[in-house]
Structure 1
Amino acid sequence: MLLLPDKFDENEWFIIISLIVTYWLIVKLPKRFPLTITLLILFFGMAYVQVIDHILAGSSFNTYDINDYGKFEWFDWIGWFIYPPFGYFFIYFFDKWSIRGIRLFGYIMGWSVIAMIVEWISLEFNMFKYYSWKFAYSYPVYLLTLCIYLLFFLYVNSTFQKLKALRKPVN
């Protein structure tokens, strides 16, 4: 059974406001991808975060807690929804700006810095409580995560384009 928050305070407000702002931005941005790809990007982000959080914050390593308890609570689950928009924006601007070559290296490094800033803000709102985890450990995790995210998008987009080409009628 999922627990309710210990008290409804800054970490719950941070999650709610983050959800509203980021999903509003996704809706307001010009459409860049078909709905199928957009949903795959968002679902991949959700699944990836769950796996990483389970490994790093779960019983195996227990390097940090999320929100009020060391146990799973409602706002841990709701909080998982704030991660997919970050990956969506990363992919959106990668595609929009046609990032290629050496610029890709800088792009991933820059977005990893942005991720660190977002994490720092979430720490200020008590979304995480670190035990053996150190803030500096997050940067290489973000580098790896964004590379995996990009590879996932490139695979999905390539597959989508191939399937789309197969469906075109030949005259």
Structure 2
Amino acid sequence: MLLLPDKFDENEWFIVISLIVAYVLLVKLPKRFPLTITLLILFFGMAYVQVSDHILAGSGFNLYDINDYGKYEWFDWIGWFIYPPFGYFFIYFFDKWSIRGLRLFWYILGWSFIAMLVEWISLKFNMFKYYRWNFAYSYPIYLLTLCIYLLFFLYVNRTFQKLKSLKKPVH
């Protein structure tokens, strides 16, 4: 059973405000991808963060807790919805700006720093409680995560384009 917050304080407010800001920005961006690709990017982001948090914060390692309890609560679940827009924005601007070559290296480094900034802000609002985790450990995780996001997008986009070309009638 999901627990309610100990009290509705800064970490719950951080989640609510972050969700509103992230999804307003996501909806306001001009449409860039077909709906299926957009949904796949968002669902991938949700699944990826759930698996990562389960491995790192779960009972096996218990490197950190999310929100008020060491057990799963409503705002842990709600907070997972913050992550998909971040991955979407990363992919959106990668595609929009046609990032290639050495620029890709700097792009991933830059977005990893942005992820660190977001994590640092979330720490100030007590969204995470570290036990055997250190803030510096997050940077290589973000580097890896953004590379995986990018590979996922490239695969999905290439597959979508191939399937789309198969549907075109030949005259």
Residue type at the aligned position of 2:107:
Y
Q: Which runs of 5+ in 1 are unaligned?
A: none
In 1: Cα distance, 2:169 partner to 2:128 partner: 53
What is the RMSD of the two structures over their aligned residues, measured on CA atoms? 0.3
With structure 2 as the length reference, what TM-score do the two structures score? 1.00
Alignment match, 2:68: 68
Q: Give 1:64 deviation, angstroms.
A: 0.2
Q: Deviations over 1:9-67 (max 9, x none)?
A: 00000000111110011110000000000000000000000000000000111000000
In 1: Cα distance, 2:163 partner to 2:24 partner: 30
Identity %: 88
Q: Give 1:87 deviation, angstroms.
A: 0.2
In 2: Cα distance, 1:19 partner to 1:105 partner: 29
1:120 paired to 2:97:
no
Q: Which runs of 5+ in 2 are unaligned?
A: none
In 2: Cα distance, 1:124 partner to 1:44 partner: 27
In 1: Cα distance, 2:37 partner to 2:23 partner: 16
Q: Deviations over 1:56-84 (max 9, x none)?
A: 00011100000000000000000000000
* Map 1:1-171 → 2, pairs under 5 A: 1-171=1-171
Residue type at the aligned position of 1:97:
W
Aligned residues, how many? Answer: 171
With structure 1 as the length reference, what TM-score do the two structures score? 1.00
In 1: Cα distance, 2:101 partner to 2:66 partner: 37
